[in-house]
Amino acid sequence: MTNPGPPEERPHAPVAPGTGNPGPPSKPERDDKDIALDAHRAPDPDGALTTDQGVRVDDTDNSLTVDDRGPTLLEDFQLREKLTRFDHERIPERVVHARGSGAYGYFEPYESLAEYTCADFLQTPGHRTPVFVRFSTVQGPRGSADTVRDVRGFATKFYTRHGNYDLVGNNMPVFFIQDAIKFPDFVHAVKPEPPDEMPTGASAHDTFWDFCSLQPESTHMLMWLMSDRAIPRSFRMMQGFGVHTFRLVNAEGVGTFVKFHWRPKLGVCSQVWDEAQITAGRDPDFHRRDLWEAIEAGDFPEWELGVQLIPERDEFAYPFDLLDPTKIVPEELVPVRPVGRMVLNRNPQNFFAETEQVAFHTANVVPGIDFTNDPLLQGRNFSYLDTQLIRLGGPNFAQLPVNRPLADVRNNQRDGYGQQLIHPGTSYAPNSVGGGCPATMGGGRLPEGVFEHYQERIDGAAIRRRSPSFADHYSQAALFWHSMAEWEQQHIIAAFAFELGKVADREVRRRMVVNLMHVDQGLAAEVARRIGVAPPDPQDHPVAGVGPADEPRVSPALSLENLWAAGIRTRKVAVLAVPGVDGGQVRAAHERLGAEGAVVETVAPHDGHVLAQDGEHLPVDRALPTTASVLYDAVVVPDGGGRTLTAEPDAVRFATEALRHGKPVAALGDGTALLRAAGADEPEQVAGVAVSTSGGQPGTSFWEGFVQLIEQHRFPQR
């Protein structure tokens, strides 16, 4: 029986596979029974409320009782059905990646990659393959905040013509462990501690750092986690990585190692730590809201898919093991080749049915993509399927709309919880009664679209032993550290000090400092000073972080300073206004910055309107008590209101936080008074602050200069 595809398409939906025009996915085949039932199905032009059995109901607000104040009757099947369904609404949340947001879109390649792979979605330039993407945090439950310090999941489901392919990755290219057998230990350690179920959505506690201090292979990942990569500005401004080394396979069966990269068109931007903490209180749904609102506004997020391609003959050509998931392939050794783009252009219709029930699995591959012997990947290929079986109530979760492939599904798998299809005919193979169908495609040369496992010769003894090529735990951690700008290094030091400062066990603190000594002595000494631990003697713990001579010492591609994009599209700018403000400057901010793609909002002490100097009533988008500077990327303080705003505590806090978090600020005329009240005695001397002291409308050059400041995102030197 033909299996239906993903949910019905809506405006801006991806095009149907194999066509150049938008269209709905394939529909299930309809037999005579379906058609006969339709003929007897009563039309319902009223949209009446019914039971699960299709019975119309007259009242859903009152139970069936004996008289007005008598007992409720057991025969009230509407009440029983409604409560039973409510009692069973919840399903187990994901053990990790529970807090997530998702969206639909499409992927289209720039060029054919037929030389390397027969994967259908990488063959035809411009052909659009529908996708569903889910972003997530790792540690916290569904109710935790979006802006905690954590790894972010970046999982993409491609609905290709040859089946579903899941690229299940993170916003960091490495992981904490090398072997999947350690995954339960890692998750148990990072989760809230058993006695008190604290902390929620955070790694700053004893068990996590105890595990890491005893597991040196986690050091590289810890450098990423303590960097600003762990507190992204938004999902739309976040990189994604496949983490593992996978294998592309072409039509001739030739394999090529591949690393997958997602690069956001809007650049890679992060919050600063204090900003992220305040945002969690002001809007715990900050990232979820940002993604949803951008798509609803038509500002569709876009990423470029890049690949690092490594011929199989070069498997051992590098000073690290390609199968080690705690290692990157530096771009200086293998450049990232852009091969296509992904656009997210449609929000889900129902969070539970789509974002919550979507099921990803690293082993969901299509012809042309195969695995390597990465021991973490091998374990994930077992664990993901096993997890979905209990979370989604049985083996038929692939029939849920968000998980259904566009490709036809025909097999002998039957029954089980949640079965939604009526299977005619036989359920075994081989058979003759059913005409031998469904039939395998083996024997001779396989036709297009048939999966054939990559043929790799395996010889050896069964052992429990880590490969010696996985033994270097520090050189790439040092590469990351030395690739950071000075302000990024300071943020990493502060993050280690904050996290380890929450650890009560002094021995755990000491062990972590020893591990950091192997990365960089200065890093270890400064962290030790801040958390009250005696710095280790360098002679006892020499730096081990210098890799082989043929490995890069610095990788510019790792620093956020080199990943900001040109332009300010979708950046949010607050214009502070009070009665008597220069209306021309407020309008100019909206027009000039809006023309560059920024989202500009007027913020005032109260909702409604503000009376400008010229008598115009300016509409207010947000009131100061209901918003905060952490929800914006830049601030404009026009003339005619700066002195008045100094008497508004919310306005002073707004400006103070914007300055403390290094955000671009524009002050016009007496707008500088608010900045002085916020602690900037000489605003014109502050990095990232644009000042216009002359009255009236500033010139084009002023706004162009302010746009350039917003492009730089943050000014951490403040």
Question: Is position 541 annotated as part of the catalytic site?
Answer: no
| Rounded-to-10 torsion of CA 559, 564, 570, 571 | 80
Beta strands in 439-516, from DSSP E residues, in sequence order: none
Q: How far is CA 113 from CA 108, 309, 691, in A?
A: 12, 11, 51
Check: CB of residue 663 under 8 Å from CB of residue 687: no
Catalytic, out of 3, 170, 345, 364:
170
- Return d(Cα 257, Cα 34) in angstroms, integer: 48
Question: Is position 170 annotated as part of the catalytic site?
Answer: yes
The per-type count for the chain, helices as H runs and strands as E runs, is 17, 18
Q: Quote the Cα angle for 109-113-114, to 5°.
A: 130
Beta strands in 240-284, from DSSP E residues, in sequence order: 240-241, 246-249, 255-264
**Torsional class of 578: left (φ above 0), alpha (ψ -120 to 50), beta (otherwise):** beta
Check: CB of residue 132 under 8 Å from CB of residue 373: no
In this structure, what are the phi and psi dihedrals at residue 152, rounded to the nearest 5 degrees? -110, 130
Smallest Cα–Cα separation from 271: which of 302, 220, 235?
235
- Single-letter residue type at 394: G
Catalytic, out of 97, 127, 205, 261:
97
Q: Which long-range contacts link 420-425 to residues 24+ away (Cβ below 8 Å)?
A: 420/396, 421/1, 421/3, 421/28, 422/1, 423/1, 424/1, 424/31
In this structure, what are the phi and psi dihedrals at residue 480, rounded to the nearest 5 degrees? -60, -45
Q: Counting Cβ atoms within 10 Å, is residue 210 exposed (0-12), middle (13-18) or buried (19+)?
A: middle
Give me the sheet containing 599-604, strands edge to edge: 622-623, 599-604, 572-576, 634-637, 665-668, 689-692
Active-site positions read 97, 170
